[in-house]
Amino acid sequence: MVVPDALAIPWRHRRLVARLARRDIAARYRGSIFGPLWALALPLAMLGIYNFAFGRIFGGRFGESATGDAPFALVLFAGLLLFQIFGDIVQSSPSLIRNNATYIKQIIFPLEILPVVAVVVALFNAAVSFAMLLVFYAVLIEAPPISALWIGVIALPLIFLAIGAGWLLSSIGAYFRDLTQVAGLVCTATLFLTPIFYPLEAVPASLRTVIGLNPIATVVEQARSVLFRSEPPDFMALALCLLGSLVVYFAGFAVFQRLRPHFADLV
Amino acid sequence: MENPAPQILDAQPALRLRDIGKVYRSFRRPSDRLKQLFFGGRRRYYVEHAALVGIDLDVPRGQTVGIVGRNGSGKSTLLRILCGVLLPTRGTVSARGRIAPLLALGAGFNPDFTGRENVLLNAAILGLTDEEIAERFAEIAAFAGIGDALEAPVSTYSSGMFARLAFSVAVCVSPDILVVDEILSVGDSAFARKCFARMEAIKAQGATILFVSHSATAVRELCDRAILLEGGKLVDDGTPREVLRHYNRLLHPGAAVPQSVEHRVPCTAATNHATNSDDMIGWFDPALETIDPTIGEGDDVRLLWPRFEGPDGAIRNRIRRGGRGELCFDIESDRPIEDACFSYNLRTITGIIAAGETWPARGEHLSIEAGQRLTVRFPIEMHLTPGDYFLTISVATRHEDGFLQRLGDVAAFVVESDATHEQRGYAAISVGVPRIELLEPRPDAEG
């Protein structure tokens, strides 16, 4: 039963997911001098670099209609931090099974949750970045609008999409190592096919429908709308986007479960 | 996993394997795997390697089964399949109850984290709830016995400490079925002893244990049953004694070929037997026999007639504790033996050597001429705890490795119980009934 299992299994293991995610987050900073401060410092530095490069040097600005007069760096950063949730998963999933060989060969472990853990870690990083964004928002412009709270709802399709992609790529990646190379390419391509460095309006009308099929594009567009235009999200677009993401989610789960019995032979 | 009522559990084996086969496919190139996927109907792009063939096995609840076999015989593959970690190519596995696999110690341990953090995480991975973890943490820590090191990163641990902690976590889940691969060879012997004690405790709780080991002693000591794998097939299944003997034959081909021992070893030659069961030293019980002794190859050196003789020269095999006499056997040699030495071992049912001697000592010289016949007599007093013992005798020369002749388990002895209370171990050091001495109350005690 794909549909109920895909939802029930991660939920049943939610505590283990939380524990593993905490471990992964802590492991990243373990042994470094500044420890968890890095979690704040890195997005801060990235934001500074964007502001310098795109704000000062390019002097770029999104169309007034799209984002008001918010600095380009902030608009860019908002899109990027959301994309990064998906990007992290696409980059790490193909080698996920191989990197967790001990869980596969030596213990009885709910393997389905490995991609879920990766998504939770990516969400944590995005949340820290988002907090940084809000701070900069307040400093550079004004207090962020109340509509910014919609971001939690807007991110929902992205979470399902990322977990689904994680299941898909990790299980296929266990068979074909070449996927690791392809994934990097896919990641970059998706990044540029998503209106992150440019507003959707900049896309020729003929191509706009193609871009519109990309669920991340909808998520990014809606996030900008609630953050920088203080408008409620377009629920119709979000619902369609969620539907598409759920298809990926369930398909990913089905493929993962189908291939999973053979993982132990492959790693 | 469903939890059927206990009576169903008792009726059903804990583990049932039917016609298990495992074939590994090895692809020469990664692209062959892709080709196989798309063009597999027309051609085969892999080389098959059968790791297991037609394994049938039923393990009743509460049984401890030792799995022995040479390297590459399929032991680990079998363990992984019955844990559900690896999928068999054919056949079915059904298991009842919670399986705890100990396939590798510290699987999933992160070296950068402290012992405590790793314990918490690993216990969660093994399926314990937060409440259960909190409940058992103290027990796990106490069993590992590594003290304050629990708060240090695991990367700073010695391999012994690592093993202790990993084993403690692994067995904390109170499994119904414990599956242990060759992992207890790490760590010091005291810890190995502790692990065995823990496994015995788990066994005593009624758990089923499957256990791979190269240590014959461990298998003898712990297991009710042993199976032997060879080339992926189950070639023997029986008591640890029998199966280990078979295994030894595989390991050392030609060293111990079972033959019809009866006519070569007249164990009960018609002579003077003590038949009176009131005898102070013991008596002879013709019903007591040893099954399936082993006999070394070659017949130019022969060992005959192993026996225990009392001071009166009468043969006995039921011996009272402390009974004095001589363990004797005869030697006939068609060849001269320079610097000969003779040994005996008395083993328990589980194969532990309870007592043994080799004589003469290195540096003392004893030579046997061709065609000579002689009797070796070891004077002994039977200070073993009551129970069954099996005699193994051998003759060797200091100039060659191995034995010139060796008879394994050729005679059985029973040390008769005289005790009014329970005694354990192998050495009978008790010399009387325990007593109680009443003490004065403590002067500082109240009242």
Among residues of chain B, what percentage have pLDDT more than 70? 88
Contact, B334 vs B371, CB < 8 A? yes
Q: Which residues of A touch B33 (CB under 8 A)?
A: 175-176
CA distance linking residue A3 with residue A7, whole number of Å: 7
CA distance linking residue B186 with residue B189, whole number of Å: 9
Q: Which residues of A touch B85 (CB under 8 A)?
A: 104-108, 264
Q: What is the pLDDT of residue A249?
A: 96
Q: What is the pLDDT of residue B40?
A: 72
Q: What is the pLDDT of residue B341?
A: 92
Structure tokens at B97: 């109850």
C-alpha distance from B195 to closest chain A C-alpha (Å) = 19
Mean pLDDT of A81-100: 92
CA distance linking residue B347 with residue B290, whole number of Å: 12
What's the Cα-to-Cα distance from B229 to each of A202, B54, B90, B232, B244, rounded to whole Å? 70, 11, 18, 6, 11
A26·B125 Cβ contact <8 A: no
Taking the CB of residue B3, how many other CB atoms lie within 10 A of it? 11
H, E, C per residue of A133-190:
HHHHHHHHCCCCCHHHHHHHHHHHHHHHHHHHHHHHHHHHHHHCCCHHHHHHHHHHHH
Residue A225 has pLDDT above 60, yes or no: yes
B309: CB partners within 8 A, 6+ apart: B315, B316, B325, B326, B328, B377
Residue A239: burial class (beta carbons within 10 Å; 0-12, 13-18, 19+) = exposed
Task: For residue A28, give the chain B residue with the closest CA.
Answer: B112
Decide if A176 touches B, using CB distance below 8 A: yes
Task: For residue B35, give the chain A residue with the closest CA.
Answer: A176
The domain spans of chain B are 6-251, 282-416
Q: Which residues of B49-73 are buried (b: 16+ CB within 10 A; e: fewer)?
A: eebbbebebebbbbbbbbbbbeeeb
DSSP per-residue string spanning A100-139: THHHHHTS---TTHHHHHHHHHHHHHHHHHHHHHHHHHHH
Mutate which of B1, B76, B86, B155 to test chain A, going by most A C-beta atoms within 10 A? Answer: B86
Mean pLDDT of A73-82: 88
A194: CB partners within 8 A, 6+ apart: A79, A83, A211, A214, A216, A217, A220
Structure tokens at B447: 């009242």
Q: Which residues of B touch A20 (CB under 8 A)?
A: 121, 125
Structure tokens at A214: 């990309």
CA distance linking residue B185 with residue B206, whole number of Å: 25
Beta bridge pairs of residue B230:
B233
Give the range among A155-159, A236-240, B102-106, B258-262 with minimum mean pLDDT. Answer: B258-262
B125·A109 Cβ contact <8 A: yes
B110·A261 Cβ contact <8 A: no
Residue A92 has pLDDT above 70, yes or no: yes
Q: What is the pLDDT of residue B234?
A: 92
Among candidates B30, B110, B130 on the partner chain, residue whose Cβ is nearest the Cβ of A23: B110
pLDDT-derived band at A144 (thresholds 50, 70, 90) equals confident
Question: Has domain B282-416 been given CATH number 2.40.50.140?
Answer: no
HSE value, Cβ hemisphere, 13 Å, CA-based, for A130: 20
Residue B232 has pLDDT above 70, yes or no: yes
CA distance linking residue B138 with residue B130, whole number of Å: 14
Range of the domain at A36: 2-266
CA distance linking residue A105 with residue B81, whole number of Å: 10
- Smallest CA-to-CA distance from B21 within B47, B49, B40 is with B49
pLDDT-derived band at A255 (thresholds 50, 70, 90) equals very high
Mean pLDDT of A58-86: 76
What's the Cα-to-Cα distance from B109 to each of B114, B121, B130, B170, B195, rounded to whole Å? 10, 8, 18, 12, 19
CA distance linking residue B444 with residue B141, whole number of Å: 37
What's the Cα-to-Cα distance from B132 to each of A17, A111, B139, B140, B205, rounded to whole Å? 17, 22, 11, 12, 18
- Smallest CA-to-CA distance from B17 within B98, B85, B78 is with B78
- Smallest CA-to-CA distance from A85 within A190, A172, A228 is with A190
Residue B153 has pLDDT above 60, yes or no: yes
Q: What is the pLDDT of residue B260?
A: 37
Mutate which of A9, A22, A23, A109 to test chain B, going by most B C-beta atoms within 10 A? Answer: A23
Q: Which residues of B touch A171 (CB under 8 A)?
A: none
Residue B42 has pLDDT above 60, yes or no: yes
Q: Which SS3 state, helix, strand or coil, does residue B165 take?
A: helix
HSE value, Cβ hemisphere, 13 Å, CA-based, for B311: 6
The 8-class DSSP code of residue B292 comes to S
Structure tokens at B119: 């314990």
C-alpha distance from B444 to closest chain A C-alpha (Å) = 54
Among residues of chain B, what percentage have pLDDT more than 90? 17
Q: What is the pLDDT of residue B5?
A: 39
Pick the CATH number of B6-251 from 3.40.50.300, 2.40.50.140, 3.90.76.10, 3.60.10.10: 3.40.50.300
Structural domain total, chain A: 1
C-alpha distance from A31 to closest chain B C-alpha (Å) = 8
Give the range among A240-249, B1-10, B144-153, B415-424 with minimum mean pLDDT. Answer: B1-10
Decide if A258 touches B, using CB distance below 8 A: no
A103·B108 Cβ contact <8 A: yes
Contact, B318 vs B284, CB < 8 A? yes
Q: Which residues of A touch B24 (CB under 8 A)?
A: 265
A224: CB partners within 8 A, 6+ apart: A66, A67, A75, A78, A79
Residue B188 has pLDDT above 80, yes or no: no
Q: pLDDT tens digits, residue range B380-394? A: 999 998 888 889 899
pLDDT-derived band at B181 (thresholds 50, 70, 90) equals confident
Residue A116 has pLDDT above 80, yes or no: yes
C-alpha distance from B427 to closest chain A C-alpha (Å) = 41
Q: What is the pLDDT of residue B146?
A: 84
Beta bridge pairs of residue B15:
B59, B95
Q: What is the pLDDT of residue B292?
A: 58
